[in-house]
Amino acid sequence: MRQMVRMLVLSCLFICPGMVAQSLAGRAAGAGEQEFAKGGDLLKQKQYAAARAALEAGLTKDPSNTQAHFNLAEACRNVKAWTCAEEHYATALQLDAKSSATGSTKPRLHKTTTWRLLDEVTAWRLLDEAKGLLAGGKAFPDKMKQAEDTLDSANELGLNHEQQALYQQLQAKLPRQRSVAVSNKAKSDGSAGGTGQADTQDMPMALVPAGEFTMGSNMAEDEKPVHQVYLNAFYMDKYEVTVGQYAKYLEVTDMDEPPDWSIMDQPQHQKRPVVNVDWEDAVKFCKWAGKRLPTEAEWEKAARGADGRIYPWGNEAPTRLHANYGRKEWNNHLSLVPVGSFEEGKSPYGIYDMAGNAWEWVSDWYDYEFYNTSPRRNPIGPATGDSKVVRGGSWLYISEFLRSAHRFAAQPTNRYFGYGFRCAKTP
């Protein structure tokens, strides 16, 4: 369930891209403005229930008002209507993104604040769900397991002090075996020092079977020509390497910390991808883990499969159900989301976040024209070069960079907020 933390937030809004725009056809200018103004005034007066009613009435007339959706989310948050708040924060973010894309001069949302509020109300909803599941006592093991997963999902979003207190109360109501397991895991996480070896239990991999796939596309010159490539079977990490995993590595190896490590290495970021790592950092981590960086061809096959799809999930244009992208502010690592948050964005092999969240280093040198001469079996890239390849786009970039065939050149010594990685392994 923890891979679906953000998905349920957005399901109603983004299943049908363009639905909002289509629903606006023929609406009169100024529709709903009276209700929006009334709702805004009531919100300022902290009359949240009345504000909610007024704003909902206005949005039935004009569902395109970004600020009205945000205000309605605020009203719902203050009456603890978490699902309502989630829906309208998410709607406001999507409308704001569309407004930006069309060059609108309307006032813009403060995206960082809105995403933070979205995470907050999502965590509250999950905590409430876990509380309801636990209310029936321990006589229903299936509900206990669901409550465990729900609490894990809430915790991965990062909890404020009030939420953390409730989280601890609910944890105490779980069966004793759970409490012992959590305690033992915490001890294990802090006791790896001195071994010099990776505990890979929390780094699951997916098998990508041997065979041909279609590599490249006609959408950019360095992606041409489209060609068939045969790869031997290999394993790929299901998730990008996280801050928590990198912290273990630093503890037992005494390697240098990446820039801004003290900002990244916080409790609320442990499940988010590690970034600010250069190519050599990624190589060393994978070697420590008994793995290696994937080749560019392996990365592309793991992302798009063998059916020539454009994105990991298929040919449907990206939405917030698929990937984390298009944000504009770093906000101390909060622009990244916990790995595995997008169930609908996974690849054909069950691999997550191969579009968005963090760029991923691969082993190959970058060559603009390499596909003209690339071997058709197990290519490993040019022998030399000036830049390395990163793949997959990131939290910052627009949807164009999310295509599985998209190639991007990066200096191997670069350490940026968007550069992360995952590892591969030969069977």
**Chain segment 220-243, per-residue pLDDT in tens:** 999 999 999 999 999 999 999 999
The reply to whether omega before 225 is within 30° of 0 (cis) is: yes
Sign of CA dihedral 61, 65, 71, 77: positive
Instruction: Report the alpha-carbon distance of residue 393 to residue 417 in Å, rounded.
Output: 12
Residues in the chain, total: 427
pLDDT at 425: 95
Any idea which of 162-176, 180-194, 247-261, 393-407 has the lowest mean pLDDT?
180-194
Instruction: Report the alpha-carbon distance of residue 85 to residue 75 in Å, rounded.
Output: 8
pLDDT at 382 over 50: yes
pLDDT at 310 over 60: yes
pLDDT at 167 over 50: yes
Mean pLDDT of 331-357: 94
What are the tokens at 272?
A: 């988010």
Mean pLDDT of 132-137: 80
Mean pLDDT of 247-259: 92
Instruction: Report the alpha-carbon distance of residue 93 to residue 333 in Å, rounded.
Output: 19
pLDDT at 19: 36
Query: Residue 303's closest CA among 277, 322, 283, 282?
Result: 322
Percent of the chain with pLDDT over 90: 61
pLDDT at 12: 41
- pLDDT: which is higher, 158 or 304: 304
Domain spanning 200-425: CATH superfamily = paralog of FGE (formylglycine-generating enzyme) (3.90.1580.10)
- pLDDT: which is higher, 55 or 134: 55
pLDDT at 144: 83
Specify the CATH class of 1-189 in words: mainly alpha
Assess contact for 230 and 378: CB atoms under 8 A.
Answer: yes
Mean confidence (pLDDT) of the chain: 84
pLDDT at 104: 61
Give the domain ranges of the chain.
1-189, 200-425
DSSP structure string for 204-238 = -EEEE-SEEEEE--SSSGGGPSPEEEEE--EEEES
pLDDT at 173: 84
pLDDT at 332: 85
Any idea which of 28-32, 67-71, 301-305 has the lowest mean pLDDT?
28-32
pLDDT at 105: 60
Instruction: Count the Cβ atoms, other than its own, within 10 Å of residue 63.
Output: 18
| Residue 76: Cβ-neighbour burial (10 angstroms; 0-12, 13-18, 19+) | buried
pLDDT at 244: 96
pLDDT at 376 over 50: yes
**Chain segment 10-68, per-residue pLDDT in tens:** 444 333 333 333 344 334 446 889 999 999 999 999 999 999 999 999 999 999 999 99
pLDDT at 419 over 90: yes
